[in-house]
Amino acid sequence: MKKLLLAVAALFVFSVGAKAQIETPVTWAFAAKRTSPTEATLLIKATIDKGWHVYSQTVKEGGPVKTAFTYTPSKDFALVGKTIEPKPISRYEKVFGMNVGFFEDAVIFQQKIKLKAKATTVTGKVEFMVCNDVKCLPPDEVKFSIPVK
């Protein structure tokens, strides 16, 4: 019985220790700015820890997982064009054998929408991959809900 309790305690300590080691070098923030009575711009900001980077939406096939936005369709709004981003830093990465575009420190992505209702909430998700000079973390996904008033 003591061995079983010791094993369960060791497993608990190991699982708590493993959980504490999960790295989250990117924090996401979401907002909307009304630009006219019938239009708004969604602002999607990634704040990236020092030494890490998030990839552009334009990374070519065979490279890292590019940042991608998925918006839940709604009768209350329509997307206007694609999600835009500032010009990324471009560098050759040996591990992928190609030049890749990425962002460091912080980046704000913007998506214009045409409103069909006075107020709405835009929901969706952002998929992204984050790397530093030593390693890459598995692709991650963050869901969002952005009120537009």
Q: Is residue 4 one of the residues assigned to a domain?
A: no
Q: Is residue 63 one of the residues assigned to a domain?
A: yes
Q: What is the mean pLDDT of the chain?
A: 89
- State how beta strands 53-55 and 98-103 pair: antiparallel
Q: CB neighbours of 146 closer than 8 A, spacing ≥ 6?
A: 30, 31, 32, 42, 121, 122, 123
Q: Is residue 15 one of the residues assigned to a domain?
A: no
Q: Is residue 2 one of the residues assigned to a domain?
A: no
Taking only the tens place, the pLDDT of each residue in 73-99 is 999 999 999 999 999 999 999 889 999
Mean pLDDT of 102-128: 98
The model's pTM is 0.85
Q: Is residue 50 one of the residues assigned to a domain?
A: yes
Q: Is residue 115 one of the residues assigned to a domain?
A: yes
Higher pLDDT, 58 or 18: 58
The total number of structural domains that make up the chain: 1
Of 5-14, 27-36, 96-105, 134-143, the least confident:
5-14
Taking only the tens place, the pLDDT of each residue in 125-142 is 999 999 999 999 999 999
For residue 6, the model assigns a pLDDT of: 36
Q: Is residue 55 one of the residues assigned to a domain?
A: yes
Q: Is 55 exposed, middle or buried (0-12, 13-18, 19+ CB in 10 A)?
A: buried
For residue 17, the model assigns a pLDDT of: 42
- In the three-class reduction of DSSP (H, G, I as helix; E, B as strand; rest coil), residue 2 is classed as helix
CATH number at residue 126: 2.60.40.1250
For residue 21, the model assigns a pLDDT of: 62
**Residue 104 belongs to what domain range?**
24-148
For residue 69, the model assigns a pLDDT of: 98
